[in-house]
């Protein structure tokens, strides 16, 4: 306990760390101000009726930090940037030069890779903005606009999305933690009061066991995320003895920590982003006069509104993205080469290709556990919603999963800042 208060004291007394924390809080304030500036000409009553009970737009509202619920200038949120990042990560598999840029060229390569993601964000934001504005016009939430007014509104919401992306990158550079994850975190915290109030207003004494079960599942999710996120598989590493001049170096033993869940919360965010696309397209085509398009839209909507279909899709996407992101960020060949260059080896394993194969085998096995667990706790709230019929549970479970993972990541980064200060 004394150590905790000592760290807390350092957070407020160290000027460097305090400046970073205040920068994050200031960015949150800017984000919340942007999220309450509405796009002109919105019918609030129709908007509320349109959003009520709609799981798809509820998830999208999480990404925009409540910006969609009042059609603010940041109603797209960081969705276009996340989608661009997913596309760029997928391209690393198909384009070897892009993979080399991301994994082997250090900080300069990652900056160039991030720049490509930013450039791709703009056309994606334009496409999503056009789809949203047309959809809202057809639903009667916004008046039908002429080309000039439509273009102005499109420019405003695209600029809002790009501004939010920039704020997220400023948080990453000058604050603490991943900026995009923290913006999603801030958005979740902002909409939690309305979610809790919805649960309280719909509360009935006969549903008390269900609410207690929901609280128990929530605590299990929190405990599970903490355990899985912090769990490590230590790989023993030994440095060979080397003689330089008159001194003997090496001979020490350490370990390489492999996390059970290398990807963190990224698979959840990726999976939700992918699931948003078919629902957005279906909602857009649902008002079409073409019978073929209308049939496709109705089938898509029926599929995504089926709890079993949605839950299975969600689970598979989280599972696959956990493996995919781990494969992109963890390269056994690079680690094996670095160990060999530094005169290190894994006891009982030959250096080079054998070490690479051993690391790949270990990371595949431990990622299986992490991917299964992450997929299960992602769909647990959907199962609860199917049993209880309370739609707020689905959003609450997804939000809880993201919040816990982001808080754990933020805690580790703060500890890293404190360790740097001590040295």
Domain boundary among 167, 201, 235: 201
Q: How many CA atoms lie within 13 A of 319 on its CB side?
A: 13
Please indicate, yes or no, if residue 32 is contained in any of the structural domains. Answer: yes
Please tell me the distance from the alpha carbon of residue 190 to that of residue 195, in angstroms, as a whole number: 10
Pair 139, 1 in one domain: yes
Pair 249, 163 in one domain: no
The predicted pLDDT at position 222 comes to 79
**153 in Cβ contact with 161 (< 8 Å):** no
Pair 181, 315 in one domain: no
Please indicate, yes or no, if residue 34 is contained in any of the structural domains. Answer: yes
Phi (first) and psi of residue 233, to 5 degrees: -115, 105
The predicted pLDDT at position 60 comes to 65
Please tell me the distance from the alpha carbon of residue 192 to that of residue 23, in angstroms, as a whole number: 23
Q: How far is CA 262 from CA 142, 192, 258, 326, in A?
A: 43, 28, 8, 6
Please indicate, yes or no, if residue 414 is contained in any of the structural domains. Answer: no
Pair 188, 213 in one domain: no
Neighbours of 290 (CB within 10 A): 10
Q: In sequence order, what are the residues at sequence separation of 6 or more whose Cβ sits closer than 8 angstroms to the Cβ of residue 153?
A: 39, 40, 133, 145
Domain boundary among 155, 173, 201: 201
Please indicate, yes or no, if residue 271 is contained in any of the structural domains. Answer: yes
The predicted pLDDT at position 248 comes to 56
Pair 13, 31 in one domain: yes
The predicted pLDDT at position 51 comes to 63
Domain boundary among 201, 217, 235: 201
Helices (H) and strands (E) in the chain, counts: 16, 5
Please indicate, yes or no, if residue 418 is contained in any of the structural domains. Answer: no
Q: At 48, which CATH number? A: 1.10.3370.10
Pair 184, 223 in one domain: no
Pair 74, 220 in one domain: no
* Domain housing 246: 206-408
Pair 315, 246 in one domain: yes
Please indicate, yes or no, if residue 111 is contained in any of the structural domains. Answer: yes
Please indicate, yes or no, if residue 62 is contained in any of the structural domains. Answer: yes
Pair 254, 399 in one domain: yes
Q: How far is CA 416 from CA 61, 255, 261, in A?
A: 32, 19, 19
- Judging by DSSP bridges, how do beta strands 247-249 and 344-345 pair with one another? unpaired
pLDDT in tens, the chain (423 residues): 555 566 667 666 777 778 888 888 898 888 888 888 877 766 666 666 666 555 556 666 666 656 666 678 888 888 788 888 878 877 877 777 777 776 666 677 778 888 888 889 999 888 888 877 877 777 677 777 778 888 888 898 899 889 988 998 898 888 887 888 888 888 877 777 766 776 677 666 766 777 777 777 778 777 877 888 788 888 888 877 665 656 655 567 788 888 888 777 778 777 877 777 776 677 667 666 777 777 777 777 777 667 777 778 888 888 888 888 888 778 888 888 888 887 788 888 888 888 888 888 999 888 888 888 888 877 777 776 666 666 555 555 567 777 877 887 788 787 777 776 665
Pair 216, 189 in one domain: no
Tally of structural domains, the chain: 2
The predicted pLDDT at position 325 comes to 83
Please indicate, yes or no, if residue 422 is contained in any of the structural domains. Answer: no
What's the predicted TM-score (pTM) here?
0.75
The predicted pLDDT at position 243 comes to 58
Pair 197, 212 in one domain: no
Pair 98, 4 in one domain: yes
């Amino acid at each position: 306990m004394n150590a905790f208060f000592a760290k807390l004291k350092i957070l407020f007394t160290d000027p460097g760390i305090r400046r970073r924390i205040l920068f994050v809080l200031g960015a949150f304030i800017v984000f919340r101000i942007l999220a309450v500036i509405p796009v002109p000409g919105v019918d609030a009553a129709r908007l509320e009726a349109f959003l009520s009970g709609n799981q798809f737009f509820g998830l999208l509202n999480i990404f925009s930090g409540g910006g969609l619920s009042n059609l603010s200038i940041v109603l797209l949120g960081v969705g276009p940037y996340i989608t661009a990042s997913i596309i760029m990560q997928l391209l690393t598999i198909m384009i070897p030069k892009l993979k080399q840029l991301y994994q082997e060229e250090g900080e300069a390569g990652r900056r160039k890779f991030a720049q490509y993601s930013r450039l791709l964000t703009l056309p994606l934001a334009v496409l999503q903005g056009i789809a949203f504005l047309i959809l809202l016009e057809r639903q009667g939430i916004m008046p039908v606009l002429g080309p000039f007014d439509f273009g102005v509104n499109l420019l405003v919401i695209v600029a809002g999305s790009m501004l939010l992306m920039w704020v997220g990158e400023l948080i990453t550079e000058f604050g603490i933690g991943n900026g995009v994850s923290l913006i999603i975190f801030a958005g979740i915290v902002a909409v939690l009061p309305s979610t809790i109030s919805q649960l309280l207003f719909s509360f009935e004494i006969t549903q008390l066991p269900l609410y207690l079960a929901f609280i128990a599942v929530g605590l299990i999710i929190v405990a599970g995320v903490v355990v899985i996120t912090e769990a490590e598989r230590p790989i023993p590493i030994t440095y060979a003895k080397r003689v330089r001049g008159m001194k003997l170096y090496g001979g020490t033993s350490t370990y390489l920590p492999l996390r059970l869940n290398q990807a963190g919360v990224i698979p959840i965010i990726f999976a939700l982003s992918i699931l948003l696309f078919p629902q957005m397209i279906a909602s857009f085509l649902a008002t079409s006069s073409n019978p073929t398009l209308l049939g496709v839209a109705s089938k898509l909507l029926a599929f995504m509104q089926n709890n079993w279909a949605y839950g299975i899709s969600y689970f598979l996407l989280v599972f696959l993205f956990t493996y995919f992101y781990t494969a992109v960020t963890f390269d056994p060949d690079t680690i094996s080469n670095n160990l060999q260059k530094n005169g290190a080896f894994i006891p009982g394993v030959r250096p080079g290709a054998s070490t690479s194969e051993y690391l790949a085998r270990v990371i595949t096995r431990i990622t299986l556990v992490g991917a299964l667990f992450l997929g299960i706790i992602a769909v647990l709230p959907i199962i609860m919603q199917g049993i209880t019929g309370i739609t707020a549970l689905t959003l609450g479970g997804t939000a809880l999963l993201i919040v816990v993972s982001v808080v754990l990541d933020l805690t580790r980064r703060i500890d890293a800042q404190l360790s740097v200060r001590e040295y």
